[in-house]
Amino acid sequence: MPELAINQGVELRNAQLELHRFRVRLAIAFVLVLAVFALLAGRFFYLQVVRHGELHTLAEANRISIVPVVPNRGIIVDRNGTVLAHNYSAYTLEIQPAKVADLERTVDELATVVEIGARDRRRFKRLMEESKGIGSLPIRTRLSDEEIARFAANRYRFPGVEINARLFRQYPQGEVFSHVVGHIGRINQRELDQLEADDRLANYRGTDYIGKTGLEQSYEPALHGTTGVEEVEVDSGGRAVRTLSRTPPVSGNNIVLKLDAQLQEIAYNAFGKFRGALVAIEPATGGVLAFVSKPGFDPNLFVEGIDPQNWSELNNSPDRPMVNRALAGTYPPGSTFKPYMALAALTAGKRTPQQTISDPGFYNFGGHVFRDDKVGGHGLVDMYKSIVVSCDTYYYTLANDLGIDIISRFMALLGLGSTTGLDIKGEATGVLPSQEWKRQRYRRPEQQKWYAGETISVGIGQGYNAYTPVQLAGAIATIANDGVMYRPHIVNYVEDIRSRERTAVEPNPLRTLPVKPEHLEVVKQALIGVNKEGTGARAFAGAGYVSAGKTGTAQVIGLKGEKYVESRTHERHRDHALFIAYAPADAPKIALAVIVENSGFGARYAAPIARAVMDYYLLGKVPTPPKPDKPEEETGDSRD
Amino acid sequence: MNPAIRRLGGYLTRHVDGLLLGAVVTLMVVGIGVLFSASNASVVRVSAQLMNMLIALGTMWVFANIPPQHLRRLALPLYVLGVLLLVGVALFGEIANGARRWLNVGITRIQPSELMKIAVPLAMAWYFDRHETALRLGNYFVGAVMLLVPVALIVRQPDLGTAMLISASGFFVLFLAGLSWRVIIGLMIAGVAALPLVWSLLHDYQRQRLLTLVDPSQDPLGAGYHTIQSTIAVGSGGVLGKGWMNGTQTHLDFIPERTTDFIFAVFSEEFGLLGNTVLLLLFLFVIARGMVITANASSLFARLLAGAITLTFFTYAFVNMGMVSGILPVVGVPLPLISYGGTSLVSICLGMGILMSIATHKKLVQT
């Protein structure tokens, strides 16, 4: 069968051809496979060799979480070790708003488990607004053991809510030290920006609090410490698996003050019902022994964020407890200005101690009558008497003779009208009147001109004069220290909590007054005379030490020719009482300035406070509880 | 040796291809090792996978002993059954994870698209073998229709990954059956031209996957997360890897699906470029062996089937490794013989069994 054979032959050849073509296609497929595997190999090489470093870093970043460990804040103690600010550990109930769907409802449900008051809610709301809901915010602090147990049993109901052990700042002395020690509070955006600008932000990772006022603010870098770091391995859910390494935090340094807590408290209480300020300085070093601004406030309210109700109470109180009077309050010095005027006149050669004037009880300057407090005048007055009895007329003429330029130049040397450099922020400069000051202060040419009559008011510490109690204390301390002025400072030394190494705030002499010792001696003798036989004599009767002082009364509002009668004047318009003093007179250990707002005569209200402070500081006398305040009848005393 | 045992041994190994078996078992051993690490030393997982492997190897042995001509007879019925089931899925299927893939047949739920992975190349090989003597363009057209009907049904479910794999296996059959180059190139051009149309037909999540491939950082916590984390795992492995059980991406739970579709990221992180190269060579060995078997197969049916199985195996490996290393979109394709899961293991080994059968039955057929 040839046909079949041919067919078979064709078929066989076709089959051969087909098989060949198939194998070619298979070979092409295999080349494709090799090409694709080469592509894969290339990709592996690219990822595992070329980009290995970068991807390895990413893997490490994935698994390692850097957890900051917040250092313990340093504590603040007074010179005797009395604690003024410290930390205690307590449990807080905290909410992470980002993880909670319905905040309102969660808080309501939490309230069924743990007591949550209206104040807690208000404070939480305020924190929410301030933090914009970022982080973990406390809804309740200081949980009791029972509350912790109750929450733990119900924990599953509250995702995003947890209990944390935290260190809290506490100020055991409360309002007495509120304006010295200050307080901390939650870091706000402005402070964050500042920290970033100062390149300190990294050290504040994990830290929620920062010093807001007082020493807590000015010594923030020392108190805060160094934040530690824990390298924690985390899984993709962010849960910590194990700790890889730990750099422990370094606790903040402790701060030891020059301040004497007991002295501070005695001074604070000595004000009784009055508002005011007192600054006491150790003349030889500038160390601040007491720093009172009354009323104060409870700084503990601010630590966890103050609730709006307390906040508005503090802010709207007519007593203005939030104002640091010692630092930022400015007052006319009144007659406490006179010893400096006398010293200026001696130094300028415009007066000798022996020169006397006859005081008729007023001073006529170009038709304008400046009255002395004492009707009929003090008679013949020399420099000593002018200070002891606080004769206005003497200083009216003296001021006119000196002129404003000499006065302002000399007062500037005493630190009046400029910040003292105290180690708390927020110091006011006050006003030291001068021609230059007036030119800058006023816009209209007729207002910019200095009038000679204005010099006369300035001469008795009135007029434009306005100084802070810190400046007034600094000035009298300078006199007490024979003209050598030190920068006042509250902190004695900073102590490293581990090495116990102390870094002292060194006494820092600012300047020495260009005055002759014999001139200084004249003024100092007169100041002693004030407390012995003058306006301060009653307050210092029977003191076991020789003291020097000067009373002052600063007018709050000008009285146009009327006789000032304390009992008839509205309380807020009454005069401020002032007193500057130092003791012991021969080797002063304490110098101070007191101002009692709207009380009346300096001799009656301010001097006794100074006496109480000095009695304790020099003799260790603790005052007996104050007697009930009984109004004294008008005695017709001099106002100074 | 006892002649009885010898005879039993002979019976057991008669249709087993030693080279292929060696490569498959080696890959399985590697797979168990990686799974042990990926599952955080889960004894439950590892023993379940060992069980899967035994079943898979048993399946392989069974299919190695079925002569190709028996399979040829099964081809059409299996294909028809598969298409009917797919239609059933489309009409009565159960929805899981947003896709209608499962069919409840009373006793159990089945996924007919898995069956089609083998039924489509089987049926197409049967069809071309039947018309071997006079293949015309029309035959390729019919073959294409045989492929596109089930693919269209699977795309609708939607299950893009499986549809793509079945398309690939069907295309391999068309290609090896001698589809004209002109048609292939024409189709490629048409395919590129049709891309916008395909794009418009895709589901949002499918589009998202493709977009994510271009730029994973667009959506680092959503669609791009898988790719970013697996790429980091692969890259951080470096040349030598972090060592077995030491992959941080793996053990800290950054790699999703790390025992199944993304197990290659675990392997790559712990064994590095060196391990990857070895793994690529092992896969290449299986493919090369499959191609040798294909080239020497005795009938067109056997050749087409063996070629399709081999190239599909290759496609699995490539798509999976490409996806993990970030050059292909994320599709649900396991790494053959390594990924955890019984279904893929059994279907891969079933293919290997058919390859063995083709390798060892040719002489019997010829005689």
B319-366 pLDDT tens trace = 999 999 988 888 888 999 999 988 889 999 999 999 999 999 865 444
Chains A, B: CB pairs < 8 Å: 125
* Lowest mean pLDDT segment, chosen from B229-243, B249-263, B341-355: B249-263
From the list A371, A372, A470, A489, the residue with the least C-alpha distance to A429 is A470
Structure token digits, residue B50? 């060992």
- Please state, in angstroms and rounded to a whole number, the distance separating the CA atoms of residues A452 and A407: 13
Q: Do A52 and B239 touch (CB under 8 A)?
A: yes
Distance from CA of B232 to the nearest CA of A (A): 5
Helix (DSSP H) and strand (DSSP E) numbers for chain B: 14, 3
Q: Where are the alpha helices (DSSP H) in A46-101?
A: 52-63
From the list B281, B254, B20, B21, the residue with the least C-alpha distance to A44 is B281
* Lowest mean pLDDT segment, chosen from A109-118, A272-281, B157-166, B249-258: B249-258
- Note the pLDDT of residue A633: 41
Decide if pLDDT at B214 tops 90.
no
Confidence band, pLDDT 50/70/90 cuts, at residue A374 = confident
- Please state, in angstroms and rounded to a whole number, the distance separating the CA atoms of residues A279 and A476: 11
Domain spanning A66-257: which CATH class is it, in words?
Answer: alpha beta
Q: Which helix (H) or strand (E) holds A511?
A: strand A509-512
Closest CA in chain B for residue A237: B253
Decide if pLDDT at A168 tops 90.
no
In three-state form (DSSP H/G/I as H, E/B as E, the rest C), the secondary structure along A99-161 is HCCCHHHHHHHHHCCCCCCHHHHHHHHHHHHHHCCCCCEEEECCCCHHHHHHHHHHHHHCCCE
Structure token digits, residue B131? 């018309």
Domain ranges for chain A: 2-50, 66-257, 261-294+329-619
B248 CB within 8 Å of a chain A CB: yes
Angle at CA of residue A178, ends A174 and A181, nearest 5°? 105
Contact B298, B362 (CB under 8 A): yes
Confidence band, pLDDT 50/70/90 cuts, at residue A625 = low
- Note the pLDDT of residue B365: 46
Confidence band, pLDDT 50/70/90 cuts, at residue A496 = confident
Tokens 């951080």 — which residue? B236
Mutate to test the interface with B, among A32, A40, A231 (most CBs of B within 10 A): A40
Q: Do A44 and B273 touch (CB under 8 A)?
A: yes
Confidence band, pLDDT 50/70/90 cuts, at residue A64 = confident
Decide if pLDDT at A224 tops 60.
yes
* Lowest mean pLDDT segment, chosen from A394-398, A523-527, A566-570: A566-570
Decide if pLDDT at A236 tops 50.
yes
Cis peptide before A295 (omega within 30 of 0): yes
Mutate to test the interface with B, among A7, A48, A58 (most CBs of B within 10 A): A48
Q: What is the mean pLDDT of the segment spanning A10-37?
A: 86
Q: What is the mean pLDDT of the segment spanning A293-319?
A: 86
Q: What is the dihedral of CA A208, A212, A218, A219, to 10 degrees?
A: -30
Closest CA in chain A for residue B252: A235
What are the backbone dihedrals phi and psi of residue A614, each rounded to the nearest 5 degrees, phi first?
-70, -35
From the list A588, A604, A605, the residue with the least C-alpha distance to A596 is A605
Distance from CA of A25 to the nearest CA of B (A): 6
Q: Do A56 and B303 touch (CB under 8 A)?
A: no
Confidence band, pLDDT 50/70/90 cuts, at residue A94 = confident
* Lowest mean pLDDT segment, chosen from A327-331, A372-376, A386-390, A522-526: A372-376
Q: Residue B156: is it exposed, middle or buried by C-beta count within 10 angstroms (0-12/13-18/19+)?
A: middle
Tens digit of each residue's pLDDT (9 = 90 or more) over B19-34:
999 999 999 999 999 9
Mutate to test the interface with A, among B188, B232, B314, B318 (most CBs of A within 10 A): B232
Tens digit of each residue's pLDDT (9 = 90 or more) over A605-617:
889 999 999 999 9
- Note the pLDDT of residue A413: 92
Q: Tell me which residues of chain B, numbers 293 to 312, contact chain A at a CB-CB cutoff of 8 Å.
A: 294-295, 300, 303, 307, 311
Q: What share of chain B is helix, strand, coil (3-state, %, to 5)?
A: 75, 5, 20
Q: Do A18 and B172 touch (CB under 8 A)?
A: no
Decide if pLDDT at A410 tops 90.
yes
Q: Do B307 and A52 touch (CB under 8 A)?
A: no
Confidence band, pLDDT 50/70/90 cuts, at residue B101 = confident
- Please state, in angstroms and rounded to a whole number, the distance separating the CA atoms of residues B280 and B321: 10
Q: How far is CA A593 from CA A151, A195, A290, in A?
A: 54, 36, 10
Put simply, whether the predicted model's pTM sits higher than 0.80 gets the answer no
Decide if pLDDT at A637 tops 50.
no
Q: Tell me which residues of chain B, numbers 2 to 61, contact chain A at a CB-CB cutoff of 8 Å.
A: none
| Residues from chain B contacting residue A55 (CB–CB below 8 Å) | 231-232, 234-236
* Lowest mean pLDDT segment, chosen from A30-34, A43-47, A235-239, B218-222: B218-222
In chain A, % of residues over pLDDT 90: 41
Would you identify the CATH topology of the domain A261-294+329-619?
Beta-lactamase (3.40.710)
Q: What is the mean pLDDT of the segment spanning B167-191?
A: 90
Confidence band, pLDDT 50/70/90 cuts, at residue A631 = very low
- Note the pLDDT of residue A319: 86
Confidence band, pLDDT 50/70/90 cuts, at residue A38 = very high
- Please state, in angstroms and rounded to a whole number, the distance separating the CA atoms of residues A323 and A81: 27
Domain ranges for chain B: 19-366
- Please state, in angstroms and rounded to a whole number, the distance separating the CA atoms of residues A600 and A581: 18
* Lowest mean pLDDT segment, chosen from A115-124, A324-333, A583-592, B175-184: A115-124
Closest CA in chain A for residue B172: A29
What letter represents residue B276's amino acid?
Answer: N
Q: Which residue has the higher pLDDT, B217 or A185?
A: A185
Q: Which residue has the higher pLDDT, B256 or A632?
A: B256
Closest CA in chain B for residue A51: B235
- Note the pLDDT of residue A6: 53
Q: Do B280 and A26 touch (CB under 8 A)?
A: no
**Does the annotation mark A335 as catalytic?**
yes
Distance from CA of A239 to the nearest CA of B (A): 10
Q: What is the mean pLDDT of the segment spanning A463-487?
A: 93
Q: Rounded mean pLDDT of chain A?
A: 85
Q: What is the mean pLDDT of the segment spanning A221-233?
A: 84
- Please state, in angstroms and rounded to a whole number, the distance separating the CA atoms of residues B270 and A468: 72
- Note the pLDDT of residue B221: 55
Q: What is the dihedral of CA A370, A376, A380, A381, to 10 degrees?
A: -50
Q: What is the mean pLDDT of the segment spanning B53-67?
A: 94
Q: How far is CA A217 from CA A309, A430, B255, B358, in A?
A: 24, 22, 48, 87
Structure token digits, residue A311? 């906040």
Distance from CA of B217 to the nearest CA of A (A): 13
From the list A589, A562, A558, the residue with the least C-alpha distance to A575 is A558
- Note the pLDDT of residue A634: 39
Tokens 């109480």 — which residue? A612
- Note the pLDDT of residue B366: 44
Tens digit of each residue's pLDDT (9 = 90 or more) over A499-541:
888 888 877 888 899 999 999 999 999 999 998 998 888 888 8
Q: Long-range CB contacts (< 8 A, 24+ apart) of A86-89?
A: A86/A169, A86/A170, A86/A172, A87/A167, A87/A168, A87/A169, A87/A170, A88/A167, A88/A168, A88/A170, A89/A165, A89/A166, A89/A167, A89/A168
Reduced to 3 states (helix: H, G, I; strand: E, B; else coil), residue A365 is strand
- Please state, in angstroms and rounded to a whole number, the distance separating the CA atoms of residues B41 and B63: 33
Task: Kindly report the number of other CB atoms within 10 A of residue A474's CB atom.
Answer: 29
- Note the pLDDT of residue B363: 55
* Lowest mean pLDDT segment, chosen from A503-507, A582-586, B61-65, B103-107: B103-107
Confidence band, pLDDT 50/70/90 cuts, at residue A1 = very low
Q: What share of chain A is helix, strand, coil (3-state, %, to 5)?
A: 40, 20, 35
Decide if pLDDT at B208 tops 90.
no
Confidence band, pLDDT 50/70/90 cuts, at residue A558 = low
Distance of CA B324 to the CA centre of its chain: 16
In chain A, % of residues over pLDDT 70: 91
Q: Which residue out of A136, A178, A218, A335 is catalytically annotated?
A: A335
Residue B28 falls in which region: left (phi positive, over 0), alpha (psi -120 to 50) or beta = alpha
- Note the pLDDT of residue A559: 47
Tens digit of each residue's pLDDT (9 = 90 or more) over B39-54:
888 899 999 999 999 9
Distance from CA of B104 to the nearest CA of A (A): 37
DSSP codes, B154-205: HHHTT-HHHHHHHHHHHHHHHHHTT--HHHHHHHHHHHHHHHHHHHHHS-HH
Decide if pLDDT at B108 tops 70.
no
Angle at CA of residue A106, ends A103 and A111, nearest 5°? 125
Tens digit of each residue's pLDDT (9 = 90 or more) over B271-296:
999 999 999 999 999 999 999 999 99
